[in-house]
Chain A
Amino acid sequence: MKYTKEHEWLRVEGDLVVVGITEHAATQLGDVVFVELPETETMVAEGDEVCVIESVKAASDILAPLDGEIVEVNTKLVDKPALVNEDPMGDAWFFKMKIDDLAALDDYMDEDEYADFIG
Chain B
Amino acid sequence: MTDQNTVGLKKLALHDLHVALGGKMVPFAGYEMPVQYPAGVMAEHQHTRRAAGLFDVSHMGQVILRPKGDMAALVAAFESLMPVDVAGLAEGRQRYGLFTNETGGILDDLMFANRGDHLFVVVNAACKEADVAHMQKHLSAVAEVRHITDRALLALQGPGAEEALAAWVPGVAEMRFMDVRVFDTLFGPMWVSRSGYTGEDGFEISVPEAGAADFARTLLGSPGVMPIGLGARDSLRLEAGLCLYGHDIDTGTTPVEAGLTWAIQKSRRAGGVRAGGFPGAERILHELAEGPERLRVGLLPQTRAPMREGTPLFAPDGTPLGEVTSGGFGPSVQAPVAMGYVAASHAAPGTALEGEVRGKRLPVTVTPLPFQPTTYKR
Contact = CB atoms under 8 A, between A and B. Distances in A.
A33 B40 contact: no
Nearest to A52: B358
B132 to A, nearest CB: 30
Contact of B40 (A31, A34, A78, A81): A31
Interface stretch (B189-197, B209-217, B300-308): B300-308
- Interface majority SS (helix, strand, loop, mixed), chain B: mixed
B40 A54 contact: no
8 contacts: A31-B40, A31-B331, A34-B306, A56-B41, A56-B45, A56-B231, A56-B329, A57-B41
Chain B residues touching A, range = 20 to 34
B49 to A, nearest CB: 14
A57 B304 contact: no
Contacts of A36: 305, 358
B36 interface: yes
A36 B362 CA distance: 13
Nearest to A34: B304
Among B1, B43, B235, B308, max chain A CB count under 10 A is at B1
Interface in A46-79: 52, 54-57, 59, 78
Interface in B328-362: 328-329, 331, 336, 358
A34 B306 CA distance: 8
A81 B305 CA distance: 11
Interface in B222-261: 231, 234-235
B182 interface: no
Interface in B39-55: 40-43, 45
B308 A30 contact: no
A26 to B, nearest CB: 11
A56 B328 contact: yes
A59 B41 CA distance: 15
Interface in A73-119: 78, 81, 118
Given A28-B1, A30-B41, A30-B42, A56 B331 contact: yes
Given A33-B329, A34-B329, A56 B42 contact: yes
A34 B331 CA distance: 12
A57 B358 contact: no
B43 to A, nearest CB: 8
B306 A54 contact: yes
A34 B301 CA distance: 13
A78 B42 CA distance: 18
A57 B234 CA distance: 9
Contacts of A81: 304
B41 A54 contact: no
Nearest to A82: B42
Given A28-B1, A30-B36, A34-B329, A55 B41 contact: yes
Contacts of B328: 56-57
